[in-house]
Chains A and B, each alone.
Chain A
Amino acid sequence: MTTGNDRAAVVVLDGASKSFGALKALDRVDLSVGPGECLGLVGHNGAGKSTLVNLITGLFAPTEGGVSYPGAADHRAAGIRSISQEGTLCPNLTVLENLQVTQRDLTGWGWRGAAAGRVMAALDAIFPGHRIRAHTLVIDMTLAEQQMVEIAIGFAEGATPARLVVLDEPTSSLDASIAAQLMTHIRRFCAGGGAVIFISHMLGEIFDVATRIVVMRDGRSIADRPAGDFTRQGLVDAMGHVADDDHQPSPAALARALGDKSSHILRTPEGVEARRGEIVGLAGLAGHGQAEALARFYLSRSSDWRGASDPQAVFVAGDRKRDGVMPVWSIRRNLTLAALDRLTRWGLIDHAAEARIGSEWQKRIGIRTPDMGNPILSLSGGNQQKALFARALATQAPVVVMDDPMRGVDIGTKTEVYDMIRHEAANGRTFLWYSTEMDEIRNCDRVFVFRDGAISAELEGVQITEEAILAASFEFGDSAA
């Protein structure tokens, strides 16, 4: 049933189930993870991956079955560490203080020095050439740096050494070169006898590091085999969606190829241009000014003083917590926020119309919930993201600005959203799309590559290749570090 050696395993799940009310999030899962193993965990949003991780890390107790840590009393003594997809650093604390939050043996005189030593050693080992300092406040760092710190804290030396590290979408905010450093470190860690559970929607990464792959669907583990036994297509089929690899240019791109000389409807100060119905990508390494350019553009097209029933642009957030989700509200209220002006008569909100829009978009974009009146935080990350997409698409805005919105979204959802974007583009909407993922950039008609806050290349149609984008992302003579 499992290939891990039960006797020496770090963690063993024996028919573990977890229910939340009527929803069975995890259904009788058997699993064991042994030293030296890198377990790739794949499945769609809501398949039960996060619940499984929360059982292993001791956050939840199973409703049925058991979770045990052979040779250790609990998850802490067993050396289980976890790096969450949502980001669990305290923004008002420095890097070393965040380490102390999890490592409670850092007390007494000189704990700061010890903490700085541990976290910097981990950062240097995993991400050589990083520019993070131990005394920087988390809030002052970029999302990528925060994720790097979180990973470093997971692997850092401590009172109990790390024996099993769970990485939930660790590369979602990292660019390719940093992600590659992490992959190297995971292989090194496993070779030294450590165990890793690696969750990612980027199947390339899974095949890159995993020695064993577990596929989850609807709360069950439906396949558990060595990584070599899977093909990419086989894995996607097992997850239950069909990947759509070939990309059709949008009607706007086709029309232009046939000689349509329509002019640009927008141009940002950086020089990003777009025509009506075009899907324009902003590429390059993370943190080179793409997100800032989009935010500036959006703010210049919307008012701080007047709401508009026909906004000129809408924004889809990638950093959900910082830029998107209203945590107190229901899914429905989150969804209708941008389109509120269309639902208002004499200053009052038409609740019937709001409910209609809510259920319409729940169907169209497939938000997995029994009731749109549930709190938005009851949804998994990917479904929250769908709600934010629907928030933007439910307006009539001609320009949709997307700030790397597919972080932590599974491949099935991505394919659906790509289709929806192409459909909306065909209806005349223009998309400005910042992404750190090559697969997404290939969906674009035209791509602007950013380097150091400026555009270093403009690519169109068949010119959009990984090589061309990478070449424009790096300066010649500069090392990738």
Chain B
Amino acid sequence: MMNIYKAPWFWAWVAAFAAFGATWSLSAGGGGGMALLVAALTFGSFSVLTGLGQMLVITMGPGNTDLSIPATMTLAATLSLKLMNGAGGVWIIAGLLTALLIGVGVGIVNFALIRLLRIPPIIATLSASFLYQSLAIWSNRGLRIKPPQALADFTTGRAVLGIPNLAWLALAITVVFWVILNRARFGRRISAIGQNPRAARLAGVPVASVTAATYVTCAVMAGLTGFLLACFSGGAALNMGAEFLLMSIAVTVIGGSSIAGGNSNVPGIWGGALFMYLIVSMLNSYGLGAGVRLLSTGVIIIAIVAIASGRKARL
């Protein structure tokens, strides 16, 4: 029914391929391509995992954005690594559960602030994130605890087809999100709320519980990403989540989900995440300084979003 170039995720993937080609050609081609691909898939996975949660929230319509993702990542990583304290076996499961439960708790707090105190989501999640960050600082106290060896090996490993384990995990979770958004009642209801919350309520959609579940899901994804990122990078750090504040929103928007709500796009998240990593590597291989690099990244994001929204306006 739909031509492939009209799919909302198409341009994100085109951009990702173009950025890959541009970087690869500079790095003299050959074996460098595989290394670049592995790096892009690994770092892209973290963006994908946070982006999926953020996408659910953004789909609920204007004003809905979770800005507590970085603080949640830090808190979940700090506490779970502290609990595991480098030990393996059953402690790994306990650590993972801790990270996920912190996500659940954060999601509930976020939702309670939005619902009970009627604070706009952007302000509620941003101010609550100071609370989460302070908790992380208080429990961390400058310690840098190493993750269990098994987890460090897993997150840096490439067990199947030479593709990073993290990418496989992110892919599996992506499939789950695709099913939620396209086949499940929950996704249908999120989309309804995103288009018109009043009409959704009048059509029998339980708006409160769907909203709560969405914020909890987003925070759980943040907790999981924080856990994996800490294991990957050899320990939790207080600023480890900082770049995912904008990253999670950028990959959602570049991936073709509508900022106006109601319309989400799962494949685009991957295109957006790979593109965002590759564009930075490309600018790096041109040998540009940090300032120029940040500036160019910003300009490119704005350009992509402008092109994408202009295209929608004509439809």
Q: Which residues of A contact B (CB under 8 A)?
A: 295, 298-299, 302-308, 311, 314-315, 317, 322-329, 333, 337-338, 340-341, 343-344, 347-349, 351, 373, 391, 395
Contacts and interface: CB of A to CB of B under 8 A. Distances in A.
Contacts of A324: 199, 202-203
A329 to B, nearest CB: 7
A298 B185 contact: no
Given A304-B208, A326-B262, A391 B203 contact: yes
21 contacts: A303-B206, A317-B199, A317-B202, A322-B196, A322-B199, A323-B198, A323-B202, A324-B199, A326-B195, A326-B196, A328-B262, A329-B191, A337-B188, A337-B200, A340-B189, A340-B204, A341-B185, A343-B185, A347-B186, A349-B185, A349-B188
Contacts of A333: 188
Contacts of B203: 315, 324, 337-338, 391
Interface in B231-290: 258, 262-263
Contacts of A311: 204
A349 B183 contact: yes
B312 to A, nearest CB: 11
B145 to A, nearest CB: 38
B183 A348 contact: yes
B47 to A, nearest CB: 26
Contacts of B206: 303-307
Contacts of B201: 299, 302, 304
Contact of B204 (A295, A314, A343, A348): A314
Contacts of B204: 302, 307-308, 311, 314-315, 337-338, 340, 395
Most buried by A among B188, B196, B203, B207: B203
Contacts of A315: 202-204
Given A303-B206, A349-B188, 10 more contacts: A305-B208, A306-B206, A307-B205, A311-B204, A322-B199, A338-B203, A347-B184, A348-B179, A349-B184, A391-B203
Interface of B: 1, 179, 183-186, 188-189, 191-192, 195-196, 198-209, 258, 262-263
Contacts of B209: 304-306
B195 A327 contact: yes
Contacts of A351: 183
Name, among A299, A340, A344, the residue most crowded by chain B CB atoms within 10 Å (CB to CB): A340
B215 to A, nearest CB: 15
Interface hub of B189, B199, B201, B258 (most chain A Cβ within 10 A): B199
Nearest to A328: B262
A334 to B, nearest CB: 9
B203 to A, nearest CB: 5
Nearest to A401: B202
Interface centre among B189, B201, B202, B204 (most CB of A within 10 A): B204
Nearest to A340: B185
Contacts of A317: 199, 202
Nearest to B211: A304
Given A315-B203, A338-B203, A347-B184, A322 B191 contact: no
Nearest to B187: A349
Contacts of A305: 206, 208-209
Contact of A340 (B188, B196, B207, B263): B188
Question: Which of A314, A326, A327, A329 has most chain B Cβ within 10 Å?
Answer: A326
A340 B185 CA distance: 7
B185 A304 contact: no
A431 to B, nearest CB: 16
B158 to A, nearest CB: 33
Nearest to B263: A328
B6 to A, nearest CB: 14
Nearest to A305: B209
Contacts of A344: 185
A434 to B, nearest CB: 14
Contacts of A302: 201, 204
A299 B206 CA distance: 11
Nearest to B180: A347
A122 B209 CA distance: 48
B183 A328 contact: no
Contacts of A323: 198-199, 202
Contact of B184 (A308, A348, A395): A348
A155 B195 CA distance: 34
Contacts of A328: 191, 195, 258, 262-263
A247 to B, nearest CB: 28
Nearest to A298: B202
Contacts of A395: 204
A293 to B, nearest CB: 14
Contact of B196 (A308, A314, A325, A338): A325
A349 B160 CA distance: 33
A295 B201 CA distance: 11
A341 B186 CA distance: 10
Contacts of A304: 201, 206-209
A311 B186 CA distance: 17
Contacts of B198: 322-323
Which residue, of A306, A308, A333, A349, has the highest number of chain B Cβ atoms within 10 A?
A349
A242 B132 CA distance: 68
Contacts of A314: 204
Nearest to A299: B201
